[in-house]
């Protein structure tokens, strides 16, 4: 695995996209299968996981959060936001500070990280 330095962190050049873990468009991926995918990636030296709040409406983030509790290796998780249709201010109008903060807090909660603010 090759790495690049980003703000004093070595991040793997190959990230793992996790749309399929949301089980929305790819068919069901159970937790055991998801953990196998994530473990294979981290065992190969990967430490950059990409997800989004719309991947199964949080299912992907929740699976990643549970997986991260089973390993000691630090992993950077990038999550996208702003596409959920969960309020009157759904996409594309929800890029205000308050809605971005709400989406970030929701992602952190699903990932099991706690609050950023």
Domains defined along the chain, listed by start: 3-111 (3.20.20.100)
**Is 22:60 a contact under the CB 8 Å cutoff?**
yes
pTM summary value? 0.82
> pLDDT by residue (tens digit) across 49-107?
999 888 887 888 889 999 999 999 999 998 887 666 665 555 556 677 887 787 778 88
Active site residues: 55
What distance in Å separates the CA atoms of residue 45 and residue 109, rounded to the nearest whole number?
Answer: 26
Between 98 and 9, the higher pLDDT residue: 9
pLDDT for 45 equals 97
pLDDT for 114 equals 65
């Amino acid at each position: 695995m090759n790495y690049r330095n980003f703000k004093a962190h070595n991040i793997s050049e190959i990230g793992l996209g996790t749309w399929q873990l949301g089980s929305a468009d790819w068919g069901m991926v159970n937790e055991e299968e998801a953990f196998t995918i994530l473990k294979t990636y981290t065992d190969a030296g990967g430490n950059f996981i990409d997800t989004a709040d719309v991947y199964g409406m949080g299912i992907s983030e929740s699976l990643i959060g549970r997986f991260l509790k089973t390993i000691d290796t630090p992993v950077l998780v990038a999550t996208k936001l702003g596409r959920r249709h969960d309020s009157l201010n759904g996409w594309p109008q929800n890029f205000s500070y308050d809605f971005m903060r709400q989406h970030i807090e929701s992602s952190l909660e699903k990932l099991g990280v706690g609050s950023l603010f």
